[in-house]
Amino acid sequence: MSALGLPQTRLRGRDISPLKSDDCKQMLHSGQLRTQRRDASGATGPAVGKFVAEGLVERDKFADDFYLSVDPAVVVFTQDWDLSLLKQWYIIGNDMAIMSVSPKSIELQGSTNNTVLVQCSARIHSKSPDAVVEFNPPEMVPRQGSVLLAPVLQAHYSEIFHFGPTRALFDVRSDPYTPLISVGHEYARAARFWTRGYDFYAPNEDTLFARYKWQEPPFPLPARGIDDDTEQQQQRGMDKSNRRIRHLLRLPVSIKDSVLEQSQVYSPGGIRSMEAWQAFSGIDPRAAYDESTTNQFTLCGAVARHQLHYVPY
């Protein structure tokens, strides 16, 4: 499930004067909602779902607004969340800023706000020759020094929550040609954002929380026959999506697929180079899978020490 919101950028001053009839009409948001329903049989993964949701944002109407992309099954909003996000974004002073992080657990709401979460580590997700990069859950860093004043520059982001100018959505749409996968699409989109001039920041105030649920691993399923067409078809689709990501990022692939749809649209940008992105993100997408650690690539120490620096262009 995907949800996009467009917080109002023109905010009324608060007063206690009686509401007028026109004020009430302006508060009715039902006419501003845009939805699109699809049959469950067409559910082919998060990247495709977000592409559909992002397509509902009309460029001519919302070109100078902000967007909020969240996982509605997880995210919990705090009071005045919209004011907080706008305030933090303007404090950054970078009109290409995207604020993003996997939010803190709802169990931490109301506790002492002495840490912030940052997206700062990743790994190669499998031993496959067409393996992609998987971003790890965020790490906590102390809320002190410059972190008290402004959001934190970070090298990665999260699709669970990101907020920024709507032009970022128009410039870097989710790739609808990567169905069925649950990892790899974040890294690919992060590369496209950054090489087009956008930067990622972790909020320094708790605006959103999340309801994370621990799920026990399922019991082993009975072995299926090799003629299970549905399972094999899904695996082929996932493999093709991974190869597409690697091909667009100019990485070697085991098989070159005959068609690479809209490759110019979904390839990295030209404002910053992929070599600069690899150095900034601290990730080598050509590296082999390392089964000894989940933090195969980490910049958490550098972020905590404020040693990650903006790359001009």
Between 22 and 139, where is the model more confident? 139
Model pTM score? 0.86
Residue partners of 251: CB distance under 8 A and separation at least 6:
285, 286
Sole residue written with tokens 């990022």: 249
Average pLDDT, the chain: 87
Query: What pLDDT is recorded for position 19?
Result: 56
Nearest to 51 by CA among 170, 226, 200, 193: 170
Q: How far is CA 304 from the centre of its chain?
A: 21
Domains of the chain (ranges; CATH) run 44-213+232-304 (3.90.550)
Runs of H (alpha helix) within 217-294 = 229-248, 274-281
Per-residue confidence band for 23, with pLDDT thresholds at 50, 70 and 90? low
Query: Residue 219: pLDDT above 70?
Result: no
pLDDT digits (tens, 9 = 90+) for 227-261: 577 788 888 999 999 999 999 999 999 998 878 99
What pLDDT is recorded for position 43? 72
Token representation of residue 272: 């910053």
Cα R_g (the chain), whole angstroms = 21
What's the pLDDT score for residue 28? 65
Q: Poorest-confidence range of 22-26, 163-167, 176-180?
A: 22-26
Beta-carbon contacts of 157 under 8 Å, excluding residues fewer than 6 positions away, are 98, 100, 101, 119, 135, 186, 190, 193, 200
